């Protein structure tokens, strides 16, 4: 399934929240996420711009296969064409991680983030806060037309939208996620 999602970087969360209130978006909540990202030991998914992500979304656990589409670079300077995502709900974060590793996958890294979610007319607006990088806004909808409409609602500049992964956001700020095994609010741990 194609994921229709864009990012706006280096935002002021309070200003964006005020705009969301003004346009009549509903605040759904504030969440704490922890994710474990897996690959085969030879990192073949990484070479194909793909990954397997296990995520605990404040008690709701999902397992996703994600693949960047139309990749033009990994430095965060070029937009991709989009993202493929296949996601299922699983019952237990730790048990799912054990199963994934028993199947021969290795953990590439662990990541934490905080998210404030808003919604209007089926469009989700997420203010994401990761360790060490400025907050950004993610807009996700059912198609590109809805994305363009949501950008107009907030008065954002369409040319500022980014179509790429959080890893590319980290790259823009000088962090090569492949060099870290843990990206958490209590600190970053580099791969040995």
3-state class (DSSP) for residue 142: coil
Structural domains of the chain, count:
1
Instruction: Kindly report the CATH number assigned to the domain that includes residue 78.
Output: 2.40.320.10
What value does the mean pLDDT take over residues 122-132?
97
Burial call 59-78: b when 16+ CB within 10 Å, e when fewer: eebbbbebbbeebeebebee
Phi first, then psi: give them for residue 84, nearest 5 degrees.
Answer: -95, 140
Q: Report the predicted TM-score, pTM, of the whole model to 2 decimal places.
A: 0.89
Q: Which pLDDT does position 118 carry in this prediction?
A: 98
Exposed, middle or buried, 95 (CB in 10 Å: 0-12/13-18/19+)?
exposed
Q: Which residue from 81, 85, 86, 84 is spatially nearest to 163, judged by alpha carbons?
A: 81
Q: Which domain does 144 fall in, by range?
A: 2-190
Please state, rounded to an integer, the average pLDDT across all residues of the chain.
95
What pLDDT, on a 0 to 100 scale, did the predictor assign at position 64? 97
* Calpha distance 147→189 (Å, rounded): 35
19's CB contacts (< 8 A; 6+ apart) are: 153, 154, 155
Give the whole-number percent of the chain exceeding pLDDT 70. Answer: 100
Q: Is 80 exceeded by the pLDDT of residue 138?
A: yes
Tens of pLDDT, residues 26-71: 999 999 999 999 999 999 999 999 999 999 998 999 999 999 998 8
């Amino acid at each position: 399934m194609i994921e229709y999602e864009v990012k706006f970087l280096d935002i002021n969360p309070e200003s964006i929240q005020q705009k969301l209130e003004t346009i009549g978006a509903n605040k759904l909540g504030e969440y704490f996420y922890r994710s474990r990202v897996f690959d085969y030991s030879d990192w073949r998914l990484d070479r194909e711009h793909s990954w397997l992500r296990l995520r605990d979304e404040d008690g709701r656990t999902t397992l996703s296969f994600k693949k960047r589409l139309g990749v033009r670079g990994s430095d965060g300077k070029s937009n991709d064409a989009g993202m493929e995502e296949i996601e299922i709900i699983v019952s237990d974060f730790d048990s799912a991680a054990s199963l994934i590793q028993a199947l021969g996958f290795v953990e590439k890294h662990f990541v934490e983030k905080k998210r404030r979610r808003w919604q209007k007319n089926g469009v989700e607006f997420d203010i994401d806060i990761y360790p060490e990088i400025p907050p950004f806004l993610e807009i996700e909808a059912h198609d590109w037309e809805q994305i363009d409409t949501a950008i107009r609602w907030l008065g954002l500049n369409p040319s500022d939208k980014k179509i790429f992964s959080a890893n590319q956001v980290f790259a823009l700020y000088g962090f090569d996620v492949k060099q870290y095994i843990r990206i958490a609010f209590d600190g970053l741990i580099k791969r040995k």
